[in-house]
A and B are shown apart, each in its own frame.
Chain A
Amino acid sequence: MSWRALFLCLMMAFSSPALALSPDEILSDPALESRARDLSAGLRCLVCQNQSIDDSDAELARDLRLLVRERLVAGDSNEEVEQYIVDRYGEYVLLNPRLGPHTLVLWIAAPLLLLVGLVALVLARRRTARPQAAGLTPEERAVLDQLRDDTERR
């Protein structure tokens, strides 16, 4: 991380007095708490640069952490909690974008690039392999004949 980002994160982090995950937020049920942590790591702190709410010190992140835990305690599944948050804050809140028409290009970019690379390699191979069989150009043949003549004459 460059120092500019560092600077910014820190400025953001200190602009409010609240904390990253603090003991009073932690749920007594370890299974629920573990799910809450997993969910938090995938949710973006909206006022920060590029932090999950799990890492962030911002007030809003704390609110979201509490909201996640509230929903979990109310019996929501992970997907339901995620949907609940997305309904209120938009898809921007998800650090891992959902697969959909608007993110299709994003998700298939890497496999597509790999495929294009492979096809390009195969094509390039065919192209370089061919001249080998093409034999000599007239100029090359002339030079060769010349050389042969020279040798024979000697």
Chain B
Amino acid sequence: MSIELGHFSLILAFAISLVSAFGGLLLWRRGERLALVLGQAAVLQFVLVAVAFLALVQAFVVSDFSLALAANHSHSLKPLIYKISGVWGNHEGSMLLWILILVLFGALVAAFGRRLPSDLASLVLGTQSLLVTAFAGFTLLTSNPFERLAVPPLEGADLNPILQDIGLAIHPPLLYAGYVGFSICFSFAVAALISGRIDQAWARWVRPWTMLSWVFLTLGIAMGSYWAYYELGWGGWWFWDPVENASFMPWLAGTALLHSALVMEKRNALKIWTIFLAIITFSLSLLGTFLVRSGILTSVHTFASDPTRGLVILSILAILIGGAFLLFAMRAPMLRQGGLFAPISREGALILNNLFLATAVGAVLVGTLYPLVLDALTGTTISVGAPFFDFTFGALMAPLLLVLPFGPLLAWKRADLVAAGQRLMGMAALAVFLAVLISALGGVSISLAPFGLLLGFWVSLGSVAELIERAKIGRIPLGESLRRLAGLPRSIWSTAIGHLGLGLTVLGIVSVSAWETEIVTTLNPGETTELAGYSIAFDSFEQIPGPNYLADTGIFTVTAPGGGTARLDAERRIYVASGTPTTEAAIQTYGLSQLYLQLGEPLDDTHVIRVWHKPYILLIWIGCLVMSGAGILSLTDRRLRLGAPQRARKAAPEAAS
């Protein structure tokens, strides 16, 4: 019964979104009352889709196997958390989650946007509803999660054991929140193009949504990377896989959008470019979600191997993205650019940032799609893998990182580069010193390592330079400095912390790439091996049955160079129901470094053991967390709070600049 209720709710939400889309996009001049109705409709869409989603969750939780989806992807003995996460561990359910987040963002705009100009509100909500119509329609017609089975099986087919992990519970919702959040930027861009009204108030409106989505996407990607790292069993954390690239491109574009919206908000410049980026970012998010499952990119990746689904989804993408760009091409030339500035200025620095980020998006896009296009055109098959991306992406990021610390120190309109350079001298010297020192101590295994270290330290130290200077640390009493620090605007804090996070990530990447060590050997219980000063003793080998698997467990004692010991259990599991084997690596954290131990298959009566020492690898993800924290901090800034645009509107845009 509840399943039918959910199904009906989704159909109702679809119908309401259809009416809202037409109402908003055709009648947007009608004023306050229409905007009010559309806002209510947006909230109603959210309530209805939430009911649909909960109906699905309930069916999974009570193991109602008359629901085809639950029968195919769940099992009555699964722990509760995996029953729930199993709802989106499949094509149909993940579509519904995607739509749920889409309508949630629509409802949030309605809730926080009461003071938006009514025409803008109507257009934004109308565009958002159009997206709901497209994807709810797609789900209902081709991927209905509410299909029933006439003869329900006694037991479900179970979720793949590899997906029975906390990673599946967290990673997709975060990633989707990031992808879908950019839909708000898209809707605002479309609304701006239709109404022809683009000013600083618009940028003030868009920036918090961009920031929020960017934080989610950053966390989602970082989480996915860490999950792959500990679950895949050979300690890689980034593979330049098409699916990863698909999530990385919107992140890069979103990062560019954050920076260009800043220029637009503060200086009323870069309008056309910001609108373009807003459309591009969401288009890349759509590609990220759907191209990989359309069967076009890599057919093996797809949830939905049914080619009609792929065709439908590609048509939807083509219409939405193509339509937005058509609108852009028609309306953008009419927009007037404002805010003049000298090349050496904060604006100039942010444009440079955008130039490199946009080029990086292009490079990753070309690298991801090139083998496909080449194959289609000439029949030649080539691979574009990690070495290509490492080189191309690295070459584009190095100059960006090199100039990054200058940006926040430059004034708007016209700035003094030499003065900024002088203020960074101390940090530059410190960065060089640290890079040389560590390279000398660690040995240079790859020639670019010292340069990478230099970049990492330079960005990290350079980004806190402004904080230190403004607080006059070391020049006035400490208490006074701290008071000054506390009094600094949050925008300065979030800029510094965000860039510091990036620097930390760079340091982690460089450290692991240059100084990771590994050992592959055979061991018998009782024997000991060594790696990077750690002594690894193989204590015993046991076969331990788990709740729904059998595990071959190697029990190890690791003695750190400092003397502390730790017990590590590395497992090879066979899941009984499906016969699927998995490896569970044992990971021991020492400060920011990790020892990663994997139990291989038996070889001639002994055991293959692989151990990696990954120096400072945690910096990679800590940097991402720091970046996200900076984004959240920026969202709490009074000047950027979600309701802020009203103030901007009262003080006319001209007066604000």
Interface residues in chain A, defined as those with a beta carbon under 8 Å from any beta carbon in chain B: 1-10, 14, 17, 19-24, 26, 41-42, 44, 49-52, 55, 90-97, 102-103, 105-106, 109-110, 113-114, 117-118, 121, 125, 128-129, 132
Contacts and interface: CB of A to CB of B under 8 A. Distances in A.
Contacts of A52: 385-386
A2 B386 contact: no
B568 to A, nearest CB: 19
A114 B355 contact: yes
B540 interface: no
B253 to A, nearest CB: 13
B337 to A, nearest CB: 5
B241 A49 contact: yes
A17 B601 contact: yes
Interface string B348-361: 00010001101110
Nearest to B234: A55
A9 B520 CA distance: 21
B388 interface: yes
Interface in B203-232: 224-225, 227-228, 231-232
A109 B234 contact: no
Contacts of A14: 580-582
Nearest to A117: B355
Nearest to B360: A110
B458 to A, nearest CB: 21
A9 B243 CA distance: 12
A22 B384 contact: no
B355 A110 contact: no
Interface string B227-254: 1100110101011111110110000000
14 contacts: A1-B241, A2-B292, A4-B302, A10-B232, A20-B610, A23-B603, A50-B239, A50-B385, A91-B382, A93-B383, A102-B382, A109-B367, A110-B363, A110-B392
Given A5-B243, A5-B244, A132-B340, A102 B358 contact: no
Contacts of B308: none
Contacts of B355: 114, 117-118, 121
B383 A1 contact: no
B589 interface: no
Describe B's contact surface by its main secondary structure.
helix
B2 interface: no
B396 A95 contact: no
A76 B240 CA distance: 30
Interface string B308-321: 00000000000000
B387 interface: yes
B520 A23 contact: yes
A10 B582 contact: yes
A110 B374 CA distance: 17
Contact of B603 (A8, A24, A91): A24
Contacts of B340: 128-129, 132
B162 A7 contact: yes
Given A6-B162, A6-B227, A105-B366, 19 more contacts: A1-B228, A5-B242, A7-B163, A10-B231, A10-B582, A19-B608, A21-B520, A23-B520, A23-B608, A52-B386, A97-B383, A103-B370, A105-B370, A106-B366, A106-B384, A109-B362, A110-B366, A113-B362, A121-B351
Contacts of B240: 50
Among B241, B360, B522, the one with the most A-chain Cβ atoms within 10 Å of its Cβ is B241
B382 to A, nearest CB: 5
Nearest to B244: A1
A105 to B, nearest CB: 7
A150 B603 CA distance: 99
B231 A6 contact: yes
A129 B396 CA distance: 29
B171 interface: yes
Nearest to A118: B355
A52 B388 CA distance: 13
A50 B242 contact: yes
Nearest to B168: A3
Contacts of A129: 340
A7 B243 contact: no
B383 A3 contact: no
A2 to B, nearest CB: 4
Contacts of B603: 19, 22-24
B160 interface: yes
Contacts of A109: 362-363, 366-367, 370
A92 B175 contact: no
Given A3-B167, A22-B608, A49-B301, A92 B383 contact: yes
Given A4-B292, A102-B378, A106-B367, A19 B386 contact: no
A129 B238 CA distance: 44
Contacts of B351: 121
Contact of B225 (A1, A110, A128): A1
A140 to B, nearest CB: 14
Contacts of A4: 243, 292-293, 301-303
A84 to B, nearest CB: 17
Given A19-B600, A92-B381, A95-B383, A3 B171 contact: yes
Contacts of A26: 520
A3 B608 contact: no
B656 interface: no
A75 B618 CA distance: 40
A1 B224 contact: yes
B429 interface: no
Interface string B108-127: 00000000000000000000
B298 A49 contact: yes
A114 B361 CA distance: 11
Nearest to A96: B387
A22 to B, nearest CB: 5
B172 interface: yes
Interface in B274-332: 292-293, 298, 300-303
Contacts of A9: 232
A103 B581 contact: no
A49 B163 CA distance: 18
Contacts of B244: 1-2, 5
B301 A5 contact: yes
A49 B371 CA distance: 14
A99 to B, nearest CB: 11
